[in-house]
Amino acid sequence: MKEKLVCIGNGMAGIRTIEELLKIAPDKYDITIFGEEPHVNYNRILLSPVLAGEKKFEEIVLNSEEWYAKNNITLYKGHKVTEVHRLKQTVTTDSGIVTPYDRVLFATGSNAFIIPVSGHHLSGVVGFRDIKDVETMLSKTKTGKHAVVIGGGLLGLEAANGLLKQGMDVTVVHVLDTLMEKQLDKTGANFLKKALEERGLKFLMNAQTESILGEEKVVGIRFKDGKEIPADLVVMAVGIRPNIELAKKARIHCEKGIVVNDTMQTFDPKIYAVGECVQHRNALYGLVAPLFEQAKVCANHLAGLGYSRYQGSVVSTKLKVTGIDVFSAGDFLGNLQTEEIIFQDPSAGIYKKLVIKDNQIKGAVLYGDTVDSAWYFEMMRDSTDISAMRDRVLFGQAHLGDAGHGENRISLMSDETEICGCNGITKGHIIKAITEKKLFTLDEVRLHTKASGSCGSCTGLVEQILAAVVGGDYSTSPKQKPICSCTDATHDEIRETIKKVHLISIEQIMTHLHWKTPNGCASCRPALNYYLLSTFPQETKDDYQSRFVNERVHANIQKDGSFSVVPRMFGGITTPNELRAIADVADKYQIPTVKVTGGQRIDLFGIKKKDLLGIWADLNKAGLVSGHAYGKSLRTVKTCVGSEWCRFGTQDSTQMGIELEKMTWGSWTPHKFKMAVSGCPRNCAEATIKDFGVVGVDSGWELHVGGNGGIKVRVTDLLCKVKTQEEVLEFAGAFMQLYREEAHYLERTAPWIERVGLEYVRNALLNDEKQRKELYERFLNSQRFSQKDPWEERVNGLDAHEFKPLADLKGVAQ
């Protein structure tokens, strides 16, 4: 027989937990849900737009009656649970229903705090918590004129804005002299107050309410200083209190909220709690992102899986007042140990402040320009070292070289504007998917629309759209992401385990780390294969079926299924013989397109898979080998002419390029790896946008790292200056090895360096000569196993099945 689960509360946290539970254990429980409100689950974050008349109630419903029915959930709407009897294991309601349980989930949420001044019970005094409050307010907008909102916090200002839009004369009363003091510093609050005053809101700051006036209906408010103002409606938005009455009555341990551990379990092991009623590690949360994280963890334990833990959340806030952009996160006030970076332009209405400690962002306040909020928030959560971009960080991500993506403000964009250039997804598509499919997270939007799922450069825009549609406190992705949905392990955890346990096959990793799928997927298998090869190059057998087609076939697949082939030309130098061989092959196999690549090589396009072996055999005869233009590996070393011919050249860049390429070809890397060598600071080989760039100067060589010329242009950081060719080779090998051993699979050097910080790389290579030499040694050792021409191996018979059909039934049937 199924166990019985009773969920007390029909709001966002409770229902999210049930949804997560149904995903992983659909048949474990008979589920009963009690909700005090006479409605299905709706999106409480969007009450403000309903009040402002921008949305209707039906538009904010999250789970329809059909959803409850389809999942065999017994729903009691409008029933208040009055008792949880822990000995008998039953739940009783005010309507007399008694339901037995095996597990209870408390998701009772919170109540608006009503200041107990005289007159607080009068008709026309409301909180701002549920749809009933909104309906009461909306009915008053038809008859009354004056509205007073007590409380100048997030909720109060959203209520005031809504009432103003409904045509009321609105005064916000705040007990302090700073609005939204929980989210804003004084300067930010002043910007906000000024903007709201321009819209017509009135403010009474430092005002203490003494009593609410009226006999049955409210007519006004009196303050402690004796001042009185008229009011037909009073909204109390001074805060919320966790709704823990029922839990207390059942003698479950409560402090400010219902106390839970990291598995969301209360002091009664049969009883769990999630949401605003919960106190976890002394913190209470009122935003949706942490509640959803709690829901996921709680579902994991209700399902009996027992491995997930909730460890608290970093939260950020956005104000949902259309046209006013406010963002705040973390420790936005700072203290004696922190520094601040500030930008302020009062006439443009822009204020940005970052609170910094030890070169990491600890908090942020943004007013007027919140385009980069997601970026700052991510760096804050990831403790990114910002020392290299301190002077530019306030100007936003766009000023760090993320060029060429056009408009940055989604509110100004039309629905036809293309957001995701890779997949051709417009703003309209994304909004439609979010509203129709009720999406809340970036991952969900990616799954349903593919937007930002390819190159990722539009992630910030997609997050903004999400914030605009579902409300500011949309769920953010957890800090430590598993590498794919086949596992809960992160890239770093997998690498560590491989090394520590000495795993040498994909099956071993999957067994050891409890993979959820039988053979992983197209995302994790290539990553695991790479991690094994780069950790134990000698012992690991390359898993051919875990490689993307290009690395399996050693050519680049094209859109029509044909392949392209690029022979290696060390340092970009070729000979008449090589060119003749290429020309002969192009003639013999009727190759339709011959093109010079961006990396100074020759690319042959439109080759049938069956012809690959013949072409390689011919190219091999002229001494040409695979150029690895298809791999997550060393691509090319681009060079300029250098001192041999150029009148400006200070160093022999072509020779240096040849040496570098001879040393590094054939090496597998987390992502493609490009190099260039310029013979003088004019830098004709464009070495400063390569993964490893070398620039000759009169006295030696400058070494540059972490550049990128692709989606997101990034100029290299200068690593150091060296004198000799041997040093260049040693640093190149050591740098590549550090990247190979520590970057995540499919992470280019640019984002890797931004993640770990340039200082980290400098410390490893410059300050620790022993470590550098060891890295170099390991690189050379690994090359002993990987510097084999894959074309020659296949011409000699390796993987023969790959290049011919299983059977030819042409003319046989059909």
Partner 1 sequence: MKQQWIEIGHLNDIPKLGSRVVETDSGNIAIFRTSNDQVFALKDRCPHKGGQLSQGIVSGILVACPLHNWKIDLKTGEATAPDKGCTRRYEIKCENGQLWLAL
- Residue 223 or 548: which CB sits closer to partner 1? 548
Between residues 681 and 805, which has the closer beta carbon with respect to partner 1? 805
d(CA 582, CA 591): 10
> Which long-range contacts (C-beta less than 8 Å, at least 24 apart) are formed by 217-223?
217/122, 217/123, 217/124, 218/119, 218/122, 218/123, 218/124, 218/125, 221/148, 221/150, 221/173, 223/173
In the chain the first and final C-alpha atoms are separated, in Å, by 54
Give the CB-side neighbour count of residue 3, counting CA atoms within 13 A.
13
Q: Kindly tell me which of 784 and 804 has the beta carbon lying closer to partner 1.
A: 804
How far CA 273 is from CA of 13, 36, 113, in Å, comes to 9, 17, 21
- The candidate with the shortest Cα–Cα distance to 103, out of 20, 204, 2, 10, is 2
For position 746 contacting partner 1 by CB under 8 A, the verdict is no
Q: Which is nearer to partner 1, 219 or 607 (CB)?
A: 607
Give the contact letters, 560-589, x = binds to partner 1 (CB under 8 A), - = no: xx----------------------------
Minimum CB separation from partner 1 for residue 331, in Å?
Answer: 39
Q: In this structure, are residues 703 and 719 in contact, taking their beta carbons and an 8 Å threshold?
A: yes
Look at residue 266 and give its three-state secondary structure. coil
336 binds partner 1 (CB under 8 A): no
Our CB check for partner 1 shows the closer of 573 and 746 to be 746
Is residue 808 a contact point for partner 1 (CB under 8 A)? yes
Does residue 605 interact with partner 1 by CB under 8 A? no
Helix (H) or strand (E) holding 738: helix 725-742
Q: Which of 697, 689, 679 is nearest to 640 (CA)?
A: 679
Q: Does 770 bind partner 1 (CB under 8 A)?
A: no
- 87 part of the interface to partner 1, by CB under 8 A: no
C-alpha to C-alpha distances, 565 to 69, 547, 556, 605, 628, nearest whole angstrom? 57, 18, 7, 7, 9
Minimum CB separation of residue 191 from partner 1 in Å reads: 41
Bridge partner list, 169: 146
User: Which residue number, 500 or 559, has a Cβ lying nearer to partner 1?
Assistant: 559
Closer Cβ to partner 1, 224 or 610, answer by number: 610
Contact 276, 239 (CB under 8 A): no
Q: Out of 553, 637, 680, 738, which residue is the one contacting partner 1 (CB under 8 A)?
A: 553
Site string for partner 1, 442-481 (x = CB under 8 A): -----xxxx-------------------------------
Q: How many of the chain's residues bind partner 1 (CB under 8 A)?
A: 34
Classified as helix, coil or strand, 632 is: coil
Least Å distance, CB 747 to partner 1, is: 18
Q: CA–CA separation, 362 vs 348, rounded Å? A: 26
Span interacting with partner 1, options 243-251, 349-357, 552-560, 747-755, rule CB under 8 A: 552-560
Residue 501 has φ and ψ, to the nearest 5°, of -90, -10
Nearest to 241 by CA among 174, 286, 209, 274: 286
**Contact call for residue 671 and partner 1 (CB under 8 A):** no
Phi and psi torsions of 580, nearest 5° = -65, -40
Judged by CB under 8 A, does residue 797 bind partner 1? no
User: Closest separation between CB of residue 640 and partner 1, Å?
Assistant: 36
The DSSP call for residue 168 is: -
Residue span binding partner 1 (CB under 8 A) among the ranges 183-191, 383-391, 511-519, 584-592: 511-519
Angle at Cα 46 formed by Cα 42 and Cα 51, nearest 5°?
110
**Shortest approach of partner 1 to residue 101 CB, angstroms?**
34
Question: For partner 1, what does the binding mask look like between residues 133 and 162, x meaning CB under 8 A?
Answer: ------------------------------
CA distance 89 to 103: 9
Distance of closest approach, residue 474 Cβ to partner 1, in angstroms: 19
Q: Write down the least CB distance from residue 540 to partner 1, Å.
A: 17
DSSP H helices, 652-721, are 653-664
Min dist. Cβ of residue 580 to partner 1 (A) = 32
Q: Which is nearer to partner 1, 563 or 776 (CB)?
A: 563
Q: Cβ contacts of residue 475 below 8 Å, gap of 6+?
A: 288, 289, 292, 293, 440, 441
Nearer to partner 1, 519 or 699 (CB): 519
> What is the number of other CB atoms lying within 10 angstroms of the CB of residue 226?
7
Binding range to partner 1, per CB under 8 A, among 99-107, 300-308, 413-421, 441-449 = 441-449
Q: What part of residues 521-550 is at the interface with partner 1 (CB under 8 A)?
A: 521-522, 525-526, 544-549
For partner 1, the binding residue among 517, 577, 763, 767 (CB under 8 A) is 517
Query: Residue 531 or 701: which CB sits closer to partner 1?
Result: 531
Instruction: Please name the residue that has the structure tokens 């919320």.
Output: 240
Tell me if 436 contacts partner 1 by CB under 8 A.
no
Q: Which of 561, 567, 568 is nearest to 607 (CA)?
A: 561
Q: Which is nearer to partner 1, 399 or 804 (CB)?
A: 804
DSSP 675: E
Q: Which of the stretches 46-54, 381-389, 553-561, 585-593 binds partner 1 when contact is defined by CB under 8 A?
A: 553-561
CB of 422 to partner 1, least distance (A): 10
Q: What residue ranges bind partner 1 (CB under 8 A)?
A: 447-450, 517-522, 525-526, 544-549, 553, 557, 559-561, 801, 805-814
